[in-house]
Structure 1
Amino acid sequence: MGNPAGVRRDFEELEERRLQAAQLLREGVHQAEVARQVGVHRQSVSRWATQLQQGGMRALKKAAHAGRRARLRPEDLRRIEKGLKRGPEALGYATSLWTAWRVAHLIEQECGVKYHPVQAWRILRQLGWSCQRPAGRALERDEDKIRRWKQQRWPEIKKKPGKSAAPSSSSTKAD
């Protein structure tokens, strides 16, 4: 069943629930009734009962952490950020555009850890970087000429509403 995506688990509350169930089980309450009282599925109570028999109350204590241990240390993340600020040209790429593949390559070069490009973008978001698309602009573009044209020439050629004489109307009746 698992946890809905993005919802953090409260490990203390989960441990409290398991310990409450263990107490009820030790008092001789049936597993189905324990499940109803604690608010969990009967299979969870069955699993807890097995753990209680095999390892005692210690087996029902909370886990130290959830999920796989991170492969990158905080100092690795700082090195990656420095590499990102240097730009992709520092890795030998011709353009200054970071792609998922390039970021994954940077992580492998800096930290010796190989990641899929999707995971590389997750690491970027963790570092506070966002996905941005560069504006496509011509190399010959002259910003001063463009600004002058917008200020001087554009107002001259821009259509202006004409002086309105009589309001126009049309008949919607069929003759």
Structure 2
Amino acid sequence: MRLQAGQRFAAGEKTAVIAKDLRVSVRSVERWRRAWREGGMEALRSAGPANSPTVTDAQFAVLEEELGKGPAAHGFEDERWTLTRVQTVIRRRLHLALSVATVWRLLKRHGWSWQAPARRALERDRHAVELWKREVWPQVKDSRRRPVPGSSSRTRPASR
């Protein structure tokens, strides 16, 4: 629209007519005309979306390196990353103030996903668990009473 307006500025058309035809406010057309006078058609070109990423690829590489060190390296008490904690690291290391929503979009754009930590004891012994599953569980499973017809207290022999 701004470029169409620029062509019409060059043709000498009035601001109100351009605004009406393009269905925009007169103020917008006045702003565009001022930019056109100062910088020509190039000044009317789009500068890109307003929400373009504020973190460069190089900065994100630094952020990934920092996240790889873990939360404890950044002074957090446990080993879980939250969006607020990532936001804090971005503020400290990259000197950028991003909202939590922006941090989420940034991480998602770079292939990071939401993860729920597995709830396991720190003392968990994987080898012992596998051994138990392989040797003990089959015995426990087989030793359970198998129901036979009429063995339940709710089952009554059919009367004939």
Please give the secondary structure, in 2, of the residue aligned with 1:115: coil
One-letter amino acid of the structure 2 residue matched with residue 86 of structure 1: K
Shift of 1:97: 0.9
**How far apart are residue 19 of structure 1 and its match?**
5.8
Matched residue, 1:127: 110
Equivalent residue, structure 2, for 1:144: 130
Task: State the shift of 1:118 in Å.
Answer: 3.6
- Cα distance change on mapping 1:87 and 1:156 into 2, 3 Å: same
- Determine which of 49, 54, 58 is the counterpart of 1:66: 49
2:48 alignment partner AA: H
Between the aligned partners of 2:76 and 2:21, the Cα distance in structure 1 is: 62
Q: Does 1:153 align with 2:133?
A: no
- How far 1:115 moved relative to its partner? 3.3
Amino acid at match of 1:50: E
Q: How many residues are paired up?
A: 144
Contact persistence 2:3–2:41 (CA under 8 A): no
Aligned partners of 1:59, 1:150: CA distance in 2, in Å?
74
User: Which of 6, 10, 21 is 1:34 aligned to?
Assistant: 21
How many angstroms apart in 1 are the aligned matches of 2:20 and 2:54?
43
2:68 counterpart of 1:85 = yes
Ranges in structure 1 where 5+ consecutive residues have no aligned partner: 1-13, 36-40, 169-175
Would the aligned equivalents of 2:19 and 2:29 in 1 still touch at CA under 8 Å?
no
| AA matched with 1:154 | K
2-structure distance, mates of 1:133, 1:85: 17
| One-letter code aligned to 1:144 | E
Q: Distance in 2 between matches of 1:76 and 1:147?
A: 46
* Fraction of identical pairs, as percent: 22
Q: Distance in 2 between matches of 1:72 and 1:33?
A: 39
Q: Taking structure 1 as reference, are residues 108 and 74 closer, same or farther at Cα in structure 2, changes over 3 Å only?
A: same
Structure 1 vs Structure 2 CA RMSD? 4.0
Q: Secondary structure at the match of 1:58?
A: helix
Runs of 4+ off more than 6 Å? 20-25
Sort the Cα spacing of 1:45 and 1:158 in 2 relative to 1 into closer, same or farther, 3 A.
farther
Residue equivalent to 2:158: none
Any gaps of 5 or more consecutive residues in structure 2? 156-160
